[in-house]
Chains A and B, each alone.
Chain A
Amino acid sequence: MFREICGRGALRIIRTIKGENAIGHAACWLSGLLTLFLLLFIVIFLVLKGIHAINWDFITSDPRPSLNQNLTGGILTPIIGTFLLVVLGTLFALPWALATAIYLAEYTEGNLWVGPIRMGIDILSGVPTIVFAIFGLAIFTNPHLSFFSTMVEEVTNAKAFGRSFMVSSITMSMMVLPFIIKSIEEAIRAVPSAYKEAAYGLGISKWRTIRKIVLPSAISGIITGVVLGIGRIAGDTAIVWLCLGGSMTLTGTQPWWHPQNWLATLQNTGSTLTTYIFYSSPAGEGNSPDKAFGAGLILIVIILALNSLVDHWGRYRTLREE
């Protein structure tokens, strides 16, 4: 009782000084500026720590195993690893996501069981990446799935190695699938129904309408979804750490840039920028913290570029819609 009275009293005091408005505004300004400051802080910190590690050699040479930081080489193969994983992950996820999104947006009218289907996809989007990681690691050692990694040679009762670019990119594609589906479905639904009705009115079949009318109109939304997926793939560490083996260089048949070795490269292990950062940071065994910050800076630049790409497409889309 006493507390209630005190509480009401305090509230009344706050109201009577009429500061509520000002205090609220100040608090909001504060939190807004705090966010800006946070970004500045992270970027400046990374730049200060990492900029002197970055030079042409750092970007164009392979990492080398050494306990001496000066001899640990550069980040060429982690950059290529990130690139490979992004391309491969998108290749696996995009057609699948596109098909699902088209079905959900165009074929489900009046279907009662679309709810459960959506629920499955929704839940998938909430699964932590670490769970995907142990799932991928455990499932791809099955010898029947050895195409995705490699069989271990010269060993009795051999299993598949279970760690490779293909394994991680398939696992990654499961992770990004729901996000890409959602983004594409929204884009397809945003296509004005008048377009479709006009096409139907001309007697064009449904699939042809989707292919020729709906998808081209939704292209910028599709690209936005893909780019968002790419960002998630490039930024993930847990899956890469467990499913890509954590070896620093590309371990397929060398030289990896020869086309006849590409498949071998994909069936073998490597690293990405994120695992390079983890491995080289004070938290890993790689013993080269400056280079971890350098790699972090480069990763941020790549993500910044991806983001501005999304911004660009977003603006393009809104312009056209208006």
Chain B
Amino acid sequence: MEQENASVLIPQKTSPITSFYTKPRKPFKEIIIERILLLLTILSSILIFFVMFFVISKAVPVLKASGFNFVFSGGWDDIFSKAWQAGADQPVWRFGALPLIAGTVLATSGALVFCFTFGLGCAVFIEEICPAWLRKPLKSTVRLLAAIPSVIYGLVGLMTVVPFISKYLISNELSLRMIKICILDGTSLLAGIIVLSMMIGPIFIAMAGDAIKSAPKRYKEASLALGLSHWRTIVKIILPAARNGIVAGAILAAGRAIGEAIALSMVTGSVANLPNPAHGLVFFLEPVRTLASTIVDNAEGMSVAACESALFACGSVLLLTCVLLSLFSRIVSGNLRQGGASNN
């Protein structure tokens, strides 16, 4: 079966000249080179499995002891401090990372919503609407914003967004009412969402812009020729055609957001608090902490085996999530590639 497959494939894809000269007598040197390249290629491909194996093997003690409770129960800070104080004598292995996972999901999805609305608008603006003289500066702006290190976003967020929220959005009464539940001082889910959207927005804009640009020109021309307005053409024709690329961009941005550690440890509030939707809009002002920033904040705890394992468990949850996102994005962009082929 395989042989058949191969014999069908090769003559089709290889040009006749190539096969004539390279097939019959491959020099020894060529073979060696090909083998070396293959080896390096396989190495870069299995690197991920090496990382996964190592991180997960370190996380096993905690994951095994906690089971599904790791994902479904809370109380991270208390357990962590108990595990730390117990030291090596009576290790505590049962951790609950629900608030951290919730914090990660909330901050990431909030930022995604934010940058999906504004980012898509901006991408459409750049590719379709904006005057020609503005296009280049705007594109450079987006690229530069995407290249600004996250620590700078964190710093700027800490010095501007956090004080702003604490000054204008949190009243004394509100803070007083909530004091038994959580501390409202400006470092919050909202601050995290804003800083994250500033960070991943440009990445999304760049990807979405590329997708919009590569939507077939004929569609647009046909639609305009039929008398549809430019705006309706954008909404009805161009965006649907670019859908897969936009989704792939959003997934990429989500991956970056999930893994962001330093900037979020500066602005989201450093406490494993589970925001309660029952509090209405106050929900967004409550502090959270993400998985990645927990690793940075508690890196000091790595000297106790249980704490180290717990942090590696956070790392493996992050890793597995990102692996799943990558696989998902592969499926989507696979569709994209097929779609592109049929359009041509």
Contact indicator A32/B121 (Cβ below 8 Å): yes
Q: Whole-angstrom distance from the CB of A44 to the nearest CB of chain B?
A: 11
| B93 lies within 8 A of chain A by Cβ | no
Contacts of B201 in A (CB 8 A): 35, 38
Give the residue name and chain of the B residue nearest to A18 (CB). B229
Chain A 12-29 residues near chain B, CB threshold 8 A? 20-21, 24-25, 27-29
| A263 lies within 8 A of chain B by Cβ | no
| A30 lies within 8 A of chain B by Cβ | yes
- Please measure, in the bound complex, the distance between the C-alpha atom of A193 and the C-alpha atom of B17, giving whole angstroms: 12
Q: Whole-angstrom distance from the CB of A183 to the nearest CB of chain B?
A: 14
Contact indicator B124/A103 (Cβ below 8 Å): no
- Please measure, in the bound complex, the distance between the C-alpha atom of A31 and the C-alpha atom of B126, giving whole angstroms: 10
Contacts of A281 in B (CB 8 A): 151, 155, 158, 266
Contact indicator B158/A283 (Cβ below 8 Å): yes
Contacts of A306 in B (CB 8 A): 147
Q: How large is the interface on A (under 10, 10 to 19, 20 to 34, 35 or more residues)?
A: 35 or more
Please judge, given known A-B contacts A110-B9, A306-B147, whether A205 and B17 are in contact too, CB under 8 Å. no
| A143 lies within 8 A of chain B by Cβ | no
Please judge, given known A-B contacts A27-B121, A296-B155, whether A127 and B149 are in contact too, CB under 8 Å. no
Contacts of A300 in B (CB 8 A): 148, 152
| A212 lies within 8 A of chain B by Cβ | no
Which candidate, B35-43, B68-76, B82-90, B94-102, is the interface stretch facing chain A?
Answer: B35-43
Contact indicator B330/A31 (Cβ below 8 Å): no
Count, chain B residues at interface, CB 8 A: 103
Q: Whole-angstrom distance from the CB of A120 to the nearest CB of chain B?
A: 3
- Please measure, in the bound complex, the distance between the C-alpha atom of A86 and the C-alpha atom of B154, giving whole angstroms: 22
Cβ proximity bits B281-317 to A, threshold 8 Å, 1 near / 0 not: 0000000000010011001000000000001100100
Contact indicator A110/B6 (Cβ below 8 Å): yes
Contact indicator B155/A131 (Cβ below 8 Å): no
Which candidate, B49-57, B165-173, B272-280, B336-344, is the interface stretch facing chain A?
Answer: B49-57
Q: Which of A20, A25, A126, A277 contacts B129 (CB 8 A)?
A: A25
| B142 lies within 8 A of chain A by Cβ | yes
Contact indicator A21/B21 (Cβ below 8 Å): no
**How would you classify the secondary structure of chain A's contact residues: helix, strand, loop or mixed?**
helix
Contacts of A299 in B (CB 8 A): 149, 152
Contact indicator A128/B17 (Cβ below 8 Å): no
| A71 lies within 8 A of chain B by Cβ | no
Give the residue name and chain of the A residue nearest to B265 (CB). A283
Contact indicator B262/A278 (Cβ below 8 Å): yes
| A73 lies within 8 A of chain B by Cβ | no
| A99 lies within 8 A of chain B by Cβ | yes
Contact indicator A99/B326 (Cβ below 8 Å): no
Contact indicator B48/A123 (Cβ below 8 Å): yes
Contacts of A29 in B (CB 8 A): 125, 129-130
| B198 lies within 8 A of chain A by Cβ | yes
| B259 lies within 8 A of chain A by Cβ | yes
Contact indicator B47/A303 (Cβ below 8 Å): no
Contacts of B325 in A (CB 8 A): 126
| A316 lies within 8 A of chain B by Cβ | no
Contact indicator B296/A117 (Cβ below 8 Å): no
- Please measure, in the bound complex, the distance between the C-alpha atom of A7 and the C-alpha atom of B65, giving whole angstroms: 51
| A80 lies within 8 A of chain B by Cβ | no
- Please measure, in the bound complex, the distance between the C-alpha atom of A123 and the C-alpha atom of B52, giving whole angstroms: 11
Contacts of B152 in A (CB 8 A): 42, 46, 277, 296, 299-300
Contact indicator A36/B262 (Cβ below 8 Å): no
Please judge, given known A-B contacts A31-B122, A124-B47, A131-B259, whether A292 and B155 are in contact too, CB under 8 Å. yes
Contact indicator A116/B45 (Cβ below 8 Å): yes
Contacts of A249 in B (CB 8 A): none
Cβ proximity bits A83-104 to B, threshold 8 Å, 1 near / 0 not: 0000000000000110110111
Contact indicator B319/A127 (Cβ below 8 Å): yes
| B164 lies within 8 A of chain A by Cβ | no
Q: Whole-angstrom distance from the CB of A1 to the nearest CB of chain B?
A: 27
| A197 lies within 8 A of chain B by Cβ | yes
| A236 lies within 8 A of chain B by Cβ | yes
Cβ proximity bits B24-35 to A, threshold 8 Å, 1 near / 0 not: 000101100110
Contacts of B329 in A (CB 8 A): 122, 126
| A9 lies within 8 A of chain B by Cβ | no
Q: Which of B18, B27, B261, B322 contacts A238 (CB 8 A)?
A: B261
Please judge, given known A-B contacts A36-B138, A125-B326, A139-B54, whether A206 and B151 are in contact too, CB under 8 Å. no
Q: Which of A97, A126, A277 contacts B322 (CB 8 A)?
A: A126
Contacts of A35 in B (CB 8 A): 118, 122, 138, 141-142, 145, 201-202, 205
Please judge, given known A-B contacts A42-B156, A299-B152, whether A109 and B259 are in contact too, CB under 8 Å. no
Contact indicator B45/A207 (Cβ below 8 Å): no
14 residue pairs bridging A and B, Cβ less than 8 Å apart? A24-B235, A28-B121, A31-B121, A103-B41, A116-B45, A122-B329, A130-B295, A134-B311, A181-B44, A241-B296, A277-B155, A278-B262, A283-B266, A311-B140
Residues of A near any B CB (own CB < 8 A) = 20-21, 24-25, 27-32, 34-36, 38-39, 42, 45-46, 49, 96-97, 99-100, 102-104, 107, 109-110, 112, 116-132, 134-135, 138-139, 174, 177-178, 181, 193, 197, 200-201, 203, 205-207, 231, 234-238, 241-242, 274, 277-278, 281-283, 292-293, 296, 299-300, 303-304, 306-307, 310-311
Residues of B near any A CB (own CB < 8 A) = 2, 5-6, 9-10, 13-15, 17-18, 21-22, 27, 29-30, 33-34, 36-38, 40-49, 51, 54-55, 58, 117-122, 124-126, 128-130, 134, 137-138, 140-145, 147-156, 158-160, 198, 201-202, 205, 229-232, 234-235, 252, 255, 258-262, 265-266, 292, 295-296, 299, 311-312, 315, 318-319, 322-323, 325-327, 329-330
Given contact pairs A24-B235, A27-B121, enumerate 17 new A-B contacts (beta carbons under 8 Å). A31-B122, A49-B159, A99-B37, A120-B47, A126-B252, A128-B259, A128-B292, A129-B261, A130-B315, A132-B51, A134-B295, A177-B44, A181-B44, A205-B27, A205-B30, A235-B148, A238-B296
